[in-house]
Amino acid sequence: MGALWEGSTALQRMQAFTEIGHSVIGLNYATSDSNKKSLCLYNRIIGKLYRLGAHNLRTPDFANINYQIKECVNTNHFDCVFFDKCLTIDIETFKFIKACQPHCFIIGYSPDDMFGRHNQSRQFLDSLSLYDCYFTTKSYGVDELKLLGCKCVHFLGNAYDPKTHRPILMTDSERKVFGGSVGFIGAWENDRARSIVHLAQSGIVVRVWGDGWERCQQKHANLRLEYKSIWAADYAKGICSFDINLCFLRKINRDLQTQRSIEIPACGAFMLAERTSEHQLLFSEGVEADFFDSDDELFQKIIFYLEHPDIRKQIARSGRDRTITGGYSYADRMNQILEIVFK
């Protein structure tokens, strides 16, 4: 169960379970565009309330997902129920599953920092103790989720979907539509905006796709803001259309890696990412991707790689190979989850 709209990583994870041979029934809590918009609006409101000190608010069940879950569990047999960052599930629904199918494992997963108040809900906190196992892509989240009451927590790295995140040969006209020399695909956040503006002021033309960039108050002729997100096939085309893909981490989530950390190299594209211990474990620095610590180092490496396309392309090819041999696909990750749960 998750936000199963086209292009969502939750849908990609669900499809991975099918690809590795399991029978899956998917329940979507973003069942319509209106639900998606309502959830987005609610999350923005919650973000503002969080910054004002409010927390632990209940997330409204726009899709009536609690009823859907009970009906589905009542009419089907499951070995496990997989909740993909679900904030709207009432504790009564968890108890219903346990009572109806006591041998069914309840698995939780989230790509976000679930210790952060902006990612929580009252329902999520109330139900944590009823998960048989929870998987987080935040290494520091293991101990934190246990502190919140979850009895079994495991760290799992981010992943990519081979059908979506793959090398795409782009024409010159397509590159003009989607890409450029240097680009970033992701939502606005103050720290990354400041770094991108610094690049623009230093003479680097940067193109940005993503939501929220109307909040970027500094404008520059070298800064091309598209003010909208691109998803699924267009997202992969965007990555493949940039010579250099910037990978900024989300500070409010305390990221040490993020989904684009894997998706960019999986597309066979060159990634220049913030230097962290987890990035350095995922990819060999200067061989399979490259990293930076400061705006000055970022600028110097952009200049170098724009002037040395052969080195840049070789690193991109090696990064692509690492995603395959490293077991970074969603099928690989979902297999890891099932091995842990059923052992």
**pLDDT tens sequence across 24-72:** 999 998 865 555 566 666 666 765 665 566 666 788 888 999 999 999 9
Does residue 165 lie within any of the structural domains? no
Q: Indicate the length of the chain as a whole number.
A: 343
Beta-carbon contacts of residue 310 (< 8 Å; ≥ 6 apart): none
Residues 321, 179: one domain? yes
Residues 141, 248: one domain? no
Residues 103, 236: one domain? no
pLDDT (0 to 100) of residue 32: 58
Does residue 4 lie within any of the structural domains? no
- Position 304 pLDDT exceeds 90: yes
Report yes or no: 328 and 160 within 8 Å, Cβ to Cβ: yes
Does residue 224 lie within any of the structural domains? yes
Tell me 203's DSSP state: T
Domain CATH for 244: 3.40.50.2000
pLDDT (0 to 100) of residue 36: 57
Residues 179, 319: one domain? yes
Residues 187, 316: one domain? yes
- Interatomic CA distance for residues 287 and 74, integer angstroms: 52
* The two structure tokens encoding residue 190: 């103050």
pLDDT (0 to 100) of residue 42: 66
Q: Which of 120, 85, 98 is nearest to 259 (CA)?
A: 85
pLDDT (0 to 100) of residue 60: 85
Residues 128, 189: one domain? no
* The two structure tokens encoding residue 274: 């913030």
Residues 219, 87: one domain? no
pLDDT (0 to 100) of residue 31: 65
- The sign one gets for the Cα dihedral 180, 206, 310, 307 is positive
Residues 215, 271: one domain? yes
Neighbour count for residue 61 (Cβ, 10 Å) = 17
Does residue 306 lie within any of the structural domains? yes
**pLDDT tens sequence across 133-175:** 999 999 999 999 999 999 999 999 999 999 999 999 999 999 9
- Interatomic CA distance for residues 240 and 162, integer angstroms: 14
Residues 86, 188: one domain? no
Report yes or no: 173 and 149 within 8 Å, Cβ to Cβ: no
Q: What are phi and psi of 265, to 5 degrees?
A: -60, -35
- Which residues span the domain enclosing 181? 172-325
Q: Where are the alpha helices (DSSP H) in 128-287?
A: 141-147, 172-178, 190-201, 232-240, 259-266, 277-282
Q: Where are the alpha helices (DSSP H) in 168-231?
A: 172-178, 190-201
For the CA atoms of 112, 114, 118, 119, the dihedral, rounded to the nearest 10 degrees, stands at 60
Residues 219, 279: one domain? yes
Does residue 2 lie within any of the structural domains? no
In whole numbers, what is the pLDDT of the chain averaged over residues?
94
pLDDT (0 to 100) of residue 242: 98
**pLDDT tens sequence across 116-133:** 988 898 999 999 999 999
SS3 content of the chain, % helix, strand, coil (to 5): 45, 15, 40
Percent with pLDDT over 70 in the chain: 92
Q: Which residue type sits at 60? A: P
Report yes or no: 211 and 41 within 8 Å, Cβ to Cβ: no
Half-sphere exposure in the Cβ direction for 115 (13 Å, CA): 20
- Interatomic CA distance for residues 221 and 4, integer angstroms: 38
Does residue 316 lie within any of the structural domains? yes
Average pLDDT over residues 313-323: 98
Pairing of strands 206-209, 180-185: parallel
Q: How far is CA 237 from CA 2, 76, 179, 204, 245, in A?
A: 25, 39, 8, 21, 12
- Interatomic CA distance for residues 214 and 223, integer angstroms: 13
Q: Write out the E strands in 169-328.
A: 180-185, 206-209, 223-225, 242-247, 271-274, 290-292
Residues 145, 280: one domain? no
Average pLDDT over residues 202-230: 97
Domain CATH for 138: 3.40.50
Does residue 1 lie within any of the structural domains? no
Pairing of strands 180-185, 242-247: parallel
Does residue 3 lie within any of the structural domains? no
Beta-carbon contacts of residue 141 (< 8 Å; ≥ 6 apart): 113, 114, 115, 153, 155
Residues 200, 214: one domain? yes
Domains identified in the chain, total number: 2
